[in-house]
Structure 1
Amino acid sequence: MPSALITGVTGQDGSYLAEYLLQQDYQVYGLQRWNSTNNHIRIDDFIDDVNILNGDLADQSSLDRAVKEAEPDEVYNLAALSFVPESFNQPVNTGNITGLGATRVLEAVRKYKMDAKFYQASTSEIFGNAPDDTQSLDTPFQPRSPYGVSKLYAYWSTVNYREAYDMYTTNGILFNHESPRRGKNFVTRKITRGAARIAEGQQNTLELGNLDAKRDWGHAKDYIKAMHLMLQQDEPGDYIIGTGEHHTVRECAQIAFDEVGLDWNEYVEVNEKFFRPAEVDALRADISETKKKLDWEPEISFEELIREMVQVDLEEIRKDA
């Protein structure tokens, strides 16, 4: 039975990946930061099948201990401080966890399970305001947030360990991916939950930032399958994961409010406090090489994604009422 260690197992991607690997008959270990309260809500349905290990990306000894205990065949480093706006408020902490944290995981793998295959969760934010209409591995990196800068450090650390130690290390540059398990502070979930709350009479308006920002949005369920496929290849490499389409925040709001039978124009207000200090205007993935190499492409459309999120938010709100 193959085994996998997932950092950030209680997050959106970590929970979907753990669930998927269990279905593939993996022994799954999940790393979580110790907390006196239960933060397992995303993995409650299958937590008994996951071996939970306490650890922290800021603490090398805990990562060493986790790798030694799990002895994994595959390591997926998904943990990070991943909310881009907050990274401007916590730039040093973001660098320590998101950037140096990845290097600590790599170092633990190098020391205690060097033959394990390692996946680093990279992000389209490393491209920043890229000059090209679509972004590929040939696109220059120019991140525009502490989060993006930290992820770029982690990206190059992953490449460096591959080249310096002949380790199987892979970067997945994932463009925006969402789901009903997305954190409530992220813009897509803020929109779908806001539309649901307004439809249920629990909220009157929804304040958003830049409605013209364009992103390549896909479903996390599709993307975790791509992560797994990357580690099944004969040779390690780096991959772009996205849909090849981009949509504006405005379009997201239109679909979400349409799902509850409302006109978004009547409820959405723009508030400049939600604008980033350095905005990224548009991102869209070039997945042509990924399609060829991994035989992968997304199955769930942007509209299906947003409508699913609204329906789940409606169910949760009605249940809590």
Structure 2
Amino acid sequence: MASPSDNAAAGRGRVLLTGANGFTGKYVRAELIDSGYDVVDAIVGAPRNDHEVTLDITSPDNCRRVMETVRPDYLVHLAAISFVAHADAEALYRVNVIGTLNLLEAMADAGLSPRRILVASSANVYGNATSGVIRESQPPQPVNHYATSKLAMEHMVRIWSDRMPIVITRPFNYTGVGQEPHFLVPKIVSHFVRRAPVIELGNLDVERDFSDVRMVAAAYHGLLEQDAAAGQIVNVCSGHPYSLKNIIEMMQAIAGYEIEVRVNPAFVRQSEVKTLVGSPDKLQSLVGNLKRFPLDDTLRWMYEDAMHRSEGVR
């Protein structure tokens, strides 16, 4: 681990990135490194190089040791339980709420004055909003423990906003190469890669605002640098709704065959959020026009990558 005194030679400053080994973290890390930041990856497990540290955000002592050692200029906090249907409700609150509190308290205890802290929440806090395109002023209506844990985290974080320059992001659904297969879009893509004749899904009319993970990483980078973002809650989204039917149709065109879709009642959650589409206006006003990836381009990228990998293991 480089010493804090090396920060002057670290380009734009040192970033502590939690959740660095996760799906989003890998893209955020690449985005920040390409822009000249010194990124320290906070991971679960033993460090493999000088740019990794072990961090258990549920341990206040571990958080303090890491902050005192790394002394970051920026914190990008992505570490969380991010699977909506996660079975352990207590773990959701312990990791998503108390874990975030431990990080902020550790920064204060280490006497740090960060330039910016970015904390990732979730658009799931909006719940079954019925007002069309959702702006940040929409009152939250969480309908599951995952969303409730994220909203509780937001309220806790805002207590610190007079002491630290914090921006809270509410990412809507996004996807890309490397997302875990239990998430919806990778599951669909994997069926087409295998040329499966049948796929079982839940409610086909559920609509989501899907973005590309590369756009999300660029948005986080932009918010990290924008002074006006401090104290803000910002949607990270495309503003375009897509149903499961739309995604299936796109994948059929990409893969060149039609799949039989069966609705499995076991996949239909009682607390299902029916439509979730965000307004990207505030994000655009803060960081300008980000490069957008049409959903069919993202799906093709995922499909071609998965095909390449499957051919490589044959």
**TM-score, length of structure 2 as denominator length:** 0.91
User: Residue 43 of structure 2 corresponds to which residue in structure 1?
Assistant: 32
Provide the rounded CA distance (Å) in 2 between the counterparts of 1:196 and 1:244: 28
Counting only pairs closer than 5 Å after superposition, residues 177-188 of structure 1 correspond to structure 2 as 177-188=174-185
Instruction: Kindly tell me the number of residue pairs found equivalent between the two proteins.
Output: 300
User: Residue 168 of structure 1 corresponds to which residue in structure 2?
Assistant: 165
SS in 2 for 1:72: coil
Q: 2:58 is aligned with what amino acid? A: A
For 1:262, which of 257, 263, 267 is the aligned residue? 257
Change in CA separation of 1:297 and 1:187 when aligned onto 2, cut-off 3 Å: same
User: Residue 188 of structure 2 corresponds to which residue in structure 1?
Assistant: 191
Provide the rounded CA distance (Å) in 1 between the counterparts of 2:181 and 2:59: 28
Shift of 1:298: 4.3
User: Residue 129 of structure 1 corresponds to which residue in structure 2?
Assistant: 128
Provide the rounded CA distance (Å) in 2 between the counterparts of 1:113 and 1:157: 20
Shift of 1:261: 0.5
Provide the rounded CA distance (Å) in 2 between the counterparts of 1:296 and 1:152: 28
Which 5+ residue runs of structure 2 have no aligned equivalent?
Answer: 1-9
For 1:287, which of 274, 277, 280 is the aligned residue? 280
Superposition CA RMSD, Å: 1.7
Provide the rounded CA distance (Å) in 2 between the counterparts of 1:253 and 1:84: 22
Provide the rounded CA distance (Å) in 2 between the counterparts of 1:23 and 1:81: 27
Cα-to-partner distance string for 1:36-66 (whole Å, 9 max, x where unaligned): xx9xxxxxxxx86x71111112111111111
Cα-to-partner distance string for 1:151-198 (whole Å, 9 max, x where unaligned): 1111122211103xx211110111111111111100000001111112
Which 5+ residue runs of structure 1 have no aligned equivalent?
Answer: 39-46
Q: Does 1:97 align with 2:108?
A: no
Q: 1:68 is aligned with what amino acid? A: E
Provide the rounded CA distance (Å) in 2 between the counterparts of 1:7 and 1:23: 18
Q: 1:315 is aligned with what amino acid? A: H
SS in 1 for 2:80: coil
Shift of 1:112: 1.6
User: Residue 71 of structure 1 corresponds to which residue in structure 2?
Assistant: 71
Shift of 1:133: 0.2
Cα-to-partner distance string for 1:118-174 (whole Å, 9 max, x where unaligned): 1100111000101210111110101111111111111122211103xx211110111
Cα-to-partner distance string for 1:68-92 (whole Å, 9 max, x where unaligned): 1111111011011111112xx2111
Q: 1:193 is aligned with what amino acid? A: S
Counting only pairs closer than 5 Å after superposition, residues 208-287 of structure 1 correspond to structure 2 as 208-235=201-228, 236=230, 237-264=232-259, 267-287=260-280
Provide the rounded CA distance (Å) in 2 between the counterparts of 1:65 and 1:192: 42
Moved over 3 A (4+): none
Q: Does 1:10 align with 2:21?
A: yes
Between Structure 1 and Structure 2, which shows a larger proportion of helix residues? 1
Provide the rounded CA distance (Å) in 2 between the counterparts of 1:169 and 1:111: 17
Shift of 1:205: 2.3
Q: 1:151 is aligned with what amino acid? A: K
Change in CA separation of 1:293 and 1:228 when aligned onto 2, cut-off 3 Å: same
